[in-house]
Chain A
Amino acid sequence: MDRRRFLNLLGWFASLGTIAGISWGSVRFMIPNILYEPPKAFKIGKPQDYPEGVTFLPEKKIFVVRSGEFLKVASAVCTHMGCTPHWVGEQKVWECPCHGSLFDEKGGVVKGPAPDPLPWYEAKIASDGRIFVDGRRIVPYTQSLTVKT
Chain B
Amino acid sequence: MKENWKEALFRNRVWKSIFRHGFPVNERLRSEAITGNLFLHVHPVKVYRETLEFPKTLGLGLISFYLFVILSITGVLLMFYYVPHVDRAYQDMKDLQFVVSFGVIIRNMHRWSAHAMIVVVFLHMCRVYYTASYREPREFNWVLGVFLLLLTLFLSLTGYLLPWDQLAYWAITIVSNLIGVAPLVGKKIRYMVLGGTIVGQNALIRFYVMHVIVLPFLALLLILVHFWRIRKDGGLARTDEAAEAAEEREGDPQGEELKSYGLMNLVEGKTPHVGQDPDRMVTAWPHLLVREATLFLFVMIVIMAMSILFDAPLEEMANSAITPNPAKAPWYFVGLQELLSWGNPIYGGILAPTAAVLALLFVPYLDRGQVGTAEWLHPTRRRAIIIFTVIAVAAIVLIFMGEYMRGPNWHLYWPWQKRPIH
Q: Which residues of A contact B (CB under 8 A)?
A: 18, 25-26, 28-34
Counting CB contacts under 8 A, is B99 at the interface? Answer: yes
Question: Bound complex: CA of A6 vs CA of B95, how far in Å?
Answer: 43
Report yes or no: B99 in contact with A28, Cβ–Cβ below 8 A. no
Cβ distance B61 to chain A, nearest Cβ, rounded Å: 24
> CB within 8 A of A33: which of B77, B80, B100, B300?
B100
CB closest chain-B residue, reference A24: B102
Report yes or no: B106 in contact with A29, Cβ–Cβ below 8 A. yes
Report yes or no: B95 in contact with A34, Cβ–Cβ below 8 A. yes
Counting CB contacts under 8 A, is B276 at the interface? Answer: no
Give every chain B residue within 8 A of A29 (Cβ-Cβ). Answer: 77, 100-103, 106
Cβ distance B293 to chain A, nearest Cβ, rounded Å: 9
Cβ distance A4 to chain B, nearest Cβ, rounded Å: 16
Give every chain B residue within 8 A of A31 (Cβ-Cβ). Answer: 101
Give every chain A residue within 8 A of B80 (Cβ-Cβ). Answer: 30
Give every chain B residue within 8 A of A25 (Cβ-Cβ). Answer: 101-102, 105
Give every chain B residue within 8 A of A30 (Cβ-Cβ). Answer: 77, 80
Q: How large, as a class, is the contact surface on chain B? A: 10 to 19
Interface of B is mostly: helix
Cβ distance B106 to chain A, nearest Cβ, rounded Å: 6
Q: Which 6 residue pairs across A and B have the least CB separation, nearest first?
A: A29-B102, A28-B101, A25-B102, A34-B99, A33-B99, A29-B101
Cβ distance A1 to chain B, nearest Cβ, rounded Å: 12
CB closest chain-B residue, reference A29: B102
Question: Bound complex: CA of A34 vs CA of B103, how far in Å?
Answer: 13
Known contacts A29-B101, A30-B80, then 17 further A-B pairs from the complex at CB < 8 Å, ordered by chain A residue: A25-B102, A25-B105, A26-B77, A26-B106, A28-B101, A28-B102, A29-B77, A29-B100, A29-B102, A29-B103, A29-B106, A32-B100, A33-B99, A33-B100, A33-B101, A34-B95, A34-B99
Binary contact readout B71-83 vs A (1 if CB under 8 angstroms, 0 otherwise): 0000001001000
CB closest chain-A residue, reference B101: A28
CB closest chain-B residue, reference A15: B297
Cβ distance B74 to chain A, nearest Cβ, rounded Å: 9
Give every chain A residue within 8 A of B95 (Cβ-Cβ). Answer: 34
Cβ distance B290 to chain A, nearest Cβ, rounded Å: 12
Q: 5 A-B pairs, CB-CB below 8 angstroms?
A: A25-B101, A26-B77, A30-B77, A32-B100, A34-B99
Question: Bound complex: CA of A124 vs CA of B112, how far in Å?
Answer: 53
Tell me the chain B residues, 143-177 only, with Cβ under 8 Å from chain A: none
Cβ distance B86 to chain A, nearest Cβ, rounded Å: 17
Give every chain A residue within 8 A of B102 (Cβ-Cβ). Answer: 25-26, 28-29
Tell me the chain B residues, 78-119 only, with Cβ under 8 Å from chain A: 80, 95, 99-103, 105-106
CB closest chain-B residue, reference A31: B101
CB closest chain-A residue, reference B74: A26
**Which of B77, B80, B101, B106: most chain A CB closer than 10 A?**
B101
Question: Bound complex: CA of A33 vs CA of B102, how far in Å?
Answer: 11
CB closest chain-B residue, reference A18: B300
